[in-house]
Amino acid sequence: MASRTADGYENGRLRREAILDAAFGYFARAGYHGASLREIALAAGVSYPGLRHHFATKDALLLAVLAQREERAAALLERDDALPVLDRLVALLEANRAERGLAQLFARVAAEASEPDHPAHGYFLERYARIRSHLARGLRADAAAGRIGAGVDPERAAVALIALADGLQTQWLLDADAVDMAAELRRSATGILRG
């Protein structure tokens, strides 16, 4: 019995992961409104009631996908607080270059979520506030270490660096050949951080 329970738990976990993987692709390509739970279930190889057992609503599924994928980005940004902020941001864009679907998911859903009644609106408000405050903290350390200009306002520079990274991804997602994201970020951010 113990072993059957453990198997059941393991199967449930695998099914949950298969659903999250399939949902990631659908939300990235079709957005929240365009994605269909029935198509996601089919792609994940589970029944529709099986999917609903794990995720009662489309909202719950979207938020679970965002939270799961966010972990990697957060780990890269927070990995080593001793590194200059700019190096960590460049590493994040380098990683996104190999993960087009991930960049697309956040760009798509962030644009949709500006509507206050979108299920991920609160998630994105909180996400941007968290990243801004994390980068501002890092920029204060950079300033203390003399790595950025003395006149740089850390909160405002954080807003600008995030904007630059988001906007470069918009152009890169449309036309990967038009933009070298990491190089452009480094060049432009260096100008911004000179103060």
| Total interface residues for a second copy by CB under 8 A | 46
Tell me if 39 contacts a second copy by CB under 8 A: no
What residue type is 15 in one-letter code?
R
Nearest CA to 97 out of 76, 126, 128 is that of 76
What is the three-class DSSP state of 99? coil
Instruction: Specify the residue, 13 or 156, whose C-beta has the smaller distance to a second copy.
Output: 156
What binding mask, one character per residue, do residues 158-187 give for a second copy by CB under 8 A, x or -? -xx-xxxxxxx-xx-xxx--xx----x--x
92 Cβ neighbours under 8 A, 6+ residues apart: 73, 76, 77, 165
Q: Which stretch binds a second copy (CB under 8 A): 17-25, 37-45, 84-92, 157-165?
A: 157-165
Instruction: Specify the residue, 50 or 107, whose C-beta has the smaller distance to a second copy.
Output: 107
What residue type is 104 in one-letter code?
Q
User: DSSP string spanning 106-144?
Assistant: HHHHHHHTTSTTSTTHHHHHHHHHHHHHHHHHHHHHHHH
Tell me if 108 contacts a second copy by CB under 8 A: yes
Q: Shortest approach of a second copy to residue 84 CB, angstroms?
A: 16
Q: Is the dihedral of CA 191, 124, 126, 73 positive or negative?
A: negative
**Interface with a second copy by CB under 8 A: which residues?**
29-31, 33-34, 104, 107-108, 110-115, 121, 124-125, 128-129, 132, 156-157, 159-160, 162-168, 170-171, 173-175, 178-179, 184, 187-188, 191-195
